Amino acid sequence: MPQLFFILSLVLFQACGKAGSKSPSYVIDQLPGTTEPEVQETYLKIFSSLSKMNGSLGKDLAQVDGLCQSDATALGLSGTYKAMVTTDKRRACQSADCLKGGLAENLDWVFSPETEYRLPDGRTIVGKTNESALLQFPLKNPLSSSSVLLWTGFSDYWTRPYYNFESCAGLTNVLETGFVGDASAVNADLLKKTSLSGCKKEFSVICVEQAIP
């Protein structure tokens, strides 16, 4: 009898343990021929734009976001997409890597905190953001296998440069110069390479899928 009580107690303990375990991100369907659910991890998508723009793109964020949305549609993607740039109206951080204020430093920012991002194929992982919604370097995979220059408006550490000649005056002035990023980089060169470019030149931007509120 004591042995039977022990076995029953063990079964109840295991059942409670399963009930209290962390649930999957979401359940797609039941695996064929089983009672087990098919689980798919949640992630959002990211890509370098097909469209190219000059360095004054920050004058109208709605327009550049619209270009990202059009490119996403052309790639057969659903969801809402915005451009990963920093201007007076959109930023990641005010302090280096948002160390002072964390997520509160974000303004109309395009990344979600602690979220995985993948290429449009849905399989290739680019990287994951931290609690301040910043992609962590080095990335697992680049956005592009070949060099694709990007307007980002960034300096180092997810901040905007101090001088106008480093960011096309916050991506608003084609008569200035600015740093460009490289979509083939897995380090901070994604945000800013060492050379400046004339802001009349047309480059891609990084397009990022938005989380559903």
Residue 36: per-residue pLDDT = 59
Q: Are strands 116-118 and 206-209 parallel, antiparallel or unpaired?
A: unpaired
- Going 122 to 55 to 184 to 94, the CA torsion angle's sign is negative
- Domain map of the chain by residue range? 44-209
Token readout for 68 is 């990202």
pLDDT score of 5 more than 60? no
Residue 168: per-residue pLDDT = 98
Average pLDDT estimate for 33-53: 80
Is the CB of residue 25 less than 8 Å from the CB of residue 38? no
CATH topology of domain 44-209: Mannose-Binding Protein A; Chain A (3.10.100)
Residue 213: per-residue pLDDT = 84
The pTM for the full model equals 0.82
Residue 32: per-residue pLDDT = 56
Token readout for 38 is 């098919």
